Amino acid sequence: MTVKSDSLRGKYVIAGIGHTAFGKLGQDTVSLNVAACASALADAGVEKEAVDALFVKTPTSKREILYGQKVAEGLGIQPRWGGAWDQGGAANISLISFAIMAIETGQCDIALVSYADNPRSGSRDVYARPRGNDSLFGWFSTAAGYGMIHRAHMLEYGTPPEAFAAVALAARKHGALNPHAQLRKEISMADYLASPLLIDPLRRDDCCLLSDGGAAVVIMSRQAARARGIDHAVPILGMGSGQTSWELPARPTLTSTQAVQSGRLAFDMAGITPADVDVAQLYDCFTITPLMTLEDYGFCEKGKVAQFVCDGQIEIGGRLPVNTSGGLLSETGMPGLQLILEGVRQIRGTATLQVPGADVCVVSNQGGTMHTHATLVLGD
Residues at the interface with other proteins (CB under 8 A): 128, 130-141, 144, 147-149, 151-152, 155-156, 196-202, 248-250, 254
Closest CA to 278 of 296, 293, 299: 299
Cβ distance to other proteins smaller for residue 103 or 163: 163
Cβ distance to other proteins smaller for residue 128 or 194: 128
Query: Pairing mode, if any, of strands 202-203 and 360-367?
Result: unpaired
Closest CA to 338 of 78, 115, 148: 115
Cβ distance to other proteins smaller for residue 196 or 229: 196
Measured distance CA(132)–CA(139) in Å, rounded: 9
Cβ distance to other proteins smaller for residue 209 or 234: 209
Q: In the bound complex, what is the minimum distance in angstroms from residue 378's beta carbon to other proteins?
A: 35
Q: Residue 264: is it exposed, middle or buried by C-beta count within 10 angstroms (0-12/13-18/19+)?
A: middle
Q: In the bound complex, what is the minimum distance in angstroms from residue 136's beta carbon to other proteins?
A: 5
Cβ distance to other proteins smaller for residue 11 or 124: 124
Q: In the bound complex, what is the minimum distance in angstroms from residue 196's beta carbon to other proteins?
A: 7
**Is residue 235 within 8 Å of residue 361, measured between CB atoms?**
no
Q: In the bound complex, what is the minimum distance in angstroms from residue 203's beta carbon to other proteins?
A: 10
Cβ distance to other proteins smaller for residue 146 or 299: 146
Q: In the bound complex, what is the minimum distance in angstroms from residue 204's beta carbon to other proteins?
A: 10
Closest CA to 96 of 53, 125, 67: 53
Cα→Cα distances 239→129, 198, 337, 367, Å:
32, 35, 15, 16
**Is residue 219 within 8 Å of residue 233, measured between CB atoms?**
no
Q: In the bound complex, what is the minimum distance in angstroms from residue 128's beta carbon to other proteins?
A: 5
**Is residue 91 within 8 Å of residue 57, measured between CB atoms?**
yes
Q: In the bound complex, what is the minimum distance in angstroms from residue 31's beta carbon to other proteins?
A: 30
- Amino acid letter for position 194: A
Closest CA to 345 of 215, 220, 224: 215
Please report, to the nearest 10 degrees, the dihedral formed by the alpha carbons of residues 148, 150, 151, 157 taken in order: 140
Cβ distance to other proteins smaller for residue 141 or 221: 141
DSSP code of residue 316:
T
